[in-house]
Structure 1
Amino acid sequence: MVRLFEMWLWLREKGQSLVEYALILVLIAVVVIAILTILGTQVSQVFSRISSTLGGS
């Protein structure tokens, strides 16, 4: 009976870790999307300038 209880606790902790890792991944994804949304136009402008400079020479 004690062994069964130990296995149940181990599985419960394993599931909890999985949820924590999933939450961290979601947070990272949201931050990356926010940064790309904010900086997207600036990066596009830089590539446009580079393209026009290379095409003009």
Structure 2
Amino acid sequence: MLYALMNWIRTRDEGQSLAEYALILALIAVVAIAALTALGGSVSNILNNIASTI
């Protein structure tokens, strides 16, 4: 019984693919948040300069 359960878990790859996609999406979100945090001030300054020039 235990052998059959372990074999069934090893042969299922749909859940594994979904978990991999979720990890990739989480990594992209973390990188995007870090980039926006690091560049947030400079982007704001650039937009303010453009607005004042116009």
Sort the TM-score into its range (normalised by shorter chain).
Answer: 0.7 to 0.9
Shift of 1:16: 0.5
CA distance in 2, matches of 1:53, 1:16: 52
Q: CA deviation at 1:19?
A: 0.3
**Match in the other structure for 1:46:** 46
- Distance, in Å, in 1 between the alignment partners of 2:25 and 2:50 is 34
- Give the partner amino acid of 1:41: G
In percent, how many aligned pairs have the same letter? 62
Mapped to 1, the partners of 2:33 and 2:45 lie a distance apart of 19
Aligned to 2:3: none
Partner of 1:15: 15
Higher CA-based Rg: 1
Calculate the aligned-residue CA RMSD, in Å: 1.4
- Give, in whole Å, the separation in 1 of the partners of 2:23 and 2:15: 13
List runs of 5+ in structure 1 lacking aligned partners.
Answer: 1-7
List, as ranges, runs of 4+ consecutive aligned residues in structure 1 with deviation greater than 4 Å. Answer: none
